[in-house]
Amino acid sequence: MEWVDVDAVLFDLDGVLTPTAEVHMRAWKELFTSVLESLPDDSGADRSPYTDQDYFRHVDGRPRYEGVEAFLRSRGIDLPHGTPDDPPEAQTVCGLGNRKNVVFNELLDAEGIEAYPGSVRVLDDLAGRGTEVAVVTSSRNGPHVLRTSGLADRFEVVVDGGVAAEKGLRGKPEPDTYAYAAELLGVPVERCAVVEDAESGVRAGAAGGFGLVVGVDRGVGADVLREAGADVVVTDLAELLDGQTG
């Protein structure tokens, strides 16, 4: 199906509408730097400074608590797992994961975030054509990111990590969250486009029988996105307007 023919577009958020990945990276850095600095001298752990390499090796792409666990293990730090209800002060894997979320939200409030200009152009164009839109994100921070970036008013349907947990929907690469958004919009999946920058998200779109899967290459690589099932790969959403797709 062609981009201009779809009745609804389901957008991933981080990396598709907003450049949020960098904020997540900085939140992790702030968290782990403070963890390492607070260790006593005789802890026996590797207290060398946290770097971006730690991020790519242990945290990137993993669910939040698993990322915490992997990093701590790499430094010889042993903390109890705890539970997802742990407060952000708790010295547990879950507590640290929850604290990362607090830091992320603080950074967002302090510095704001601007949507990708090309993505805003596409949203304007779709609004002008009366095409339905929704946001589908694994993150529980979705509504906060949408408000901060000024995009919240454009989306009546937002399926985020909180909605997924509440409804018992499986996460990407399963298509459940995208399918649920299509259902809420009242549009059959074969009339919907999915727009994704992550391999797992593209797989979700391909697995769900959606009419069009658009991969946005923000660094993952066009080949990887095509391999995962993207029908079209762009580096900026505005290419969809200019017809520079391929």
Of 45 and 235, CB closest to Mg ion? 235
Residue span binding Mg ion (CB under 5 A) among the ranges 12-20, 95-103, 147-155, 171-179: 12-20
Smallest distance from Mg ion to CB 109, Å: 21
Question: Catalytic: which of 7, 14, 86, 236?
Answer: 14
- Is 42 noted as a catalytic residue in this protein? no
Tokens 């580096």 map to which residue?
235
Give me the phi and psi of 158, to 5 degrees please: -130, 115
Catalytic position from the list 7, 12, 231, 236: 12
Q: Are 176 and 195 in contact (CB under 8 A)?
A: no
C-beta closer to Mg ion: residue 197 or 231: 197
12 vs 236, beta carbon nearer Mg ion: 12
Q: Is 197 among the catalytic positions?
A: no
Dump the DSSP string for 108-120. Answer: HHHH-----HHHH
In the complex, the smallest distance separating the C-beta of residue 12 from Mg ion, rounded to whole angstroms, is: 4
Contact by Cβ (8 Å): 175, 211: no
Query: What's the closest the beta carbon of residue 149 comes to Mg ion, in angstroms?
Result: 14
Q: How far apart (Å, rounded) are the C-alpha atoms in residues 235 and 43? A: 46
Among the listed residues 6, 7, 9, 14, the single contact to Mg ion using CB under 5 A: 14
Nearer to Mg ion by C-beta: 217 or 231? 217
Q: Which of 6, 7, 12, 126 binds Mg ion (CB under 5 A)?
A: 12
Closest residue to Mg ion: CB criterion: 15
Q: Cβ of residue 142: shortest distance to Mg ion, in angstroms?
A: 11
Q: Which of residues 147-206 bind Mg ion (CB under 5 A)?
A: 197-198
Rg (C-alpha) for the chain, rounded Å, is 19
Amino acid at 101: N
61-100 residues near Mg ion, rule: CB under 5 A:
none
- Distance (Å, whole) CA 82 – CA 93: 6
Looking up tokens 């598709």, which residue turns up? 16
Sequence-ordered alpha helix ranges (H) in 38-116: 52-54, 64-74, 93-111
Q: Please, what is the angle between helix 64-74 and helix 93-111, to 10°?
A: 110
Which of 15, 97, 175, 229 binds Mg ion (CB under 5 A)? It is: 15
How far is it, in rounded angstroms, from Cα 144 to Cα 122?
A: 21
Which one of 4-12, 160-168, 171-179, 230-238 is the stretch in contact with Mg ion (CB under 5 A)?
4-12
Active site residues: 12, 14
- Binding interface with Mg ion (CB under 5 A): 12, 14-15, 197-198
